[in-house]
Structure 1
């Protein structure tokens, strides 16, 4: 029996950027769908249309300055409930930087841009163990922007730091367009017993072809998330505006509504809002 979709939503993953800041190295005129300013005024109509009451803004540039910029937006934009920022893991003062950022109520955690780092094993550097420990001590989170090849290293970190709350962004980006599934699914299933690891139902249409637009194209990937993480460790995110590369905000909401339509009301509430609120601790203003 189809259950009614929960009205309130928390978007656990979206971005804002201002081109004149010049710290988005990956964002060039060649990426035509994204090469413009995306700010709260652009997202507002979509939030309102889909009853998204809060969002978590995630870094899109490997600079501390961008993190500070996002925190300044959070201070004036009521819909922003949290910021996932960036710190230099190799800086001598990285621990002090985390201490200072943690003083800001809106700062929720960090995300190194692992998918863009040439060394797949970069995150396994033993020198970073102290950073993960510090994040856990401060009650901060770790967003893992990874691809399937990074998952073994992330698994080791999750086991070694059980008090650190980790969330895998964007299904870990399996290559849906080329049908990548079995190896990705096996890697994701390894996390089933690790209660400190969560996952975001976001960003997967960007890994698909433009013809893969129906829920059936993503059903087996979604089922794997449920099998690996249960209903309580999956959170919804839009990945706006990056979602516009192969889809759009409304289409992604609609697709996800189909995917969770047979869940109970409480399971849907967790998916759309409660899980993100729990993972990022309080999202209260």
Structure 2
């Protein structure tokens, strides 16, 4: 079974003027392209990745698809389009013609309107995503868990994955409210969860602080609906690729490695390899 990193990014700073990351985040304030990641994948024994958007620009999706066309290790792309635009249905259909376009992601975590995702104006675009076999990445924070639950319940045929487990407040040691919201989501069979991004949320705490949150993900979503991802290069703010992979290999029971580190990503995103 191939080993898949279900969440990584590439970017060029020249394309991101005025966008995140700021210069003070020195570890990630530079270009990151396939040649930077490939040695890390080879060293860790990773066979392929899912490349995920980082900007609310269609040009970013075009850039990612162009990279995917040149590099075989990029097995899928999660792009962006304005899901409430008047021509959203047409845009979704057009993007679906790219074989490696596997999903779409609105950047919900940065929206001041936490009810944006509950607006029925999004429904035509979501119906188009379902029709064209595209998945939905939910980039959210804990206060948005109830809204995503409402959205996921309304669109039960849409495959949804919670990026970075909704970024729990690990640095503050908060777990109960997050766990409650995640438990409600886990009861919906169309919702999956990424074991990714947690190290960054740990702040100044030791990497071991991640374990109870990772174990909660595995407990709630089970070994069949948990996907491992690196969140590289954002991961560089808190650790390195190999160490994060090793840490997760220790947390996930060995009998579930095939599923969590590969099979589930292939199943969820309908990857071809």
Query: If the length of structure 1 is used for normalisation, what is the TM-score?
Result: 0.93
Correspondence for 2:76: 82
In structure 2, C-alpha distance between the alignment counterparts of 1:22 and 1:153, rounded to whole Å = 29
Which of residues 170, 177, 182 is equivalent to 1:188? 182
Q: Which residue of 2 aligns with 1:130?
A: 124
Matched, 1:278 2:267: yes
Q: Could you list the per-position Cα deviations for residues 228-274 of structure 1 after superposition, in whole angstroms to 9, with x for gaps in the alignment?
A: 211100010000000011111111011101101x341xx21001100
Per the alignment, residue 9 of structure 1 pairs with 3
Q: 1:116 to 1:54 in 2, by over 3 A?
A: same
Tell me the CA shift for residue 219 of structure 1: 2.3
Is residue 254 of structure 1 aligned with residue 246 of structure 2? Answer: yes
Q: For the aligned residues, what is the CA RMSD?
A: 1.3
Aligned to 1:228: 220
User: Which residue of 227, 232, 237 corresponds with 1:240?
Assistant: 232
Q: Secondary structure at the match of 1:211?
A: coil
Q: Distance in 1 between matches of 2:78 and 2:117?
A: 18
Structure 1 moving runs of 4+ over 4 Å: none
CA-to-aligned-CA distance 1:24-43 (integer Å, 9 cap, x gap): 61222122111101000000
Return the alpha-carbon distance in structure 1 between the equivalents of residues 45 and 18 of structure 2: 30
Count of aligned residue pairs for this structure pair: 273
What pairs with 1:204-215 in structure 2 (closer than 5 Å)? 204-214=198-208
Residue 223 of structure 1 deviates from its aligned partner by 2.1
CA offsets, 1:91-133, max 9 Å, x none? 2111101100000001011111111111111111111122222
SS of 1:247's equivalent in the other structure is coil
TM (norm. structure 2) is 0.96
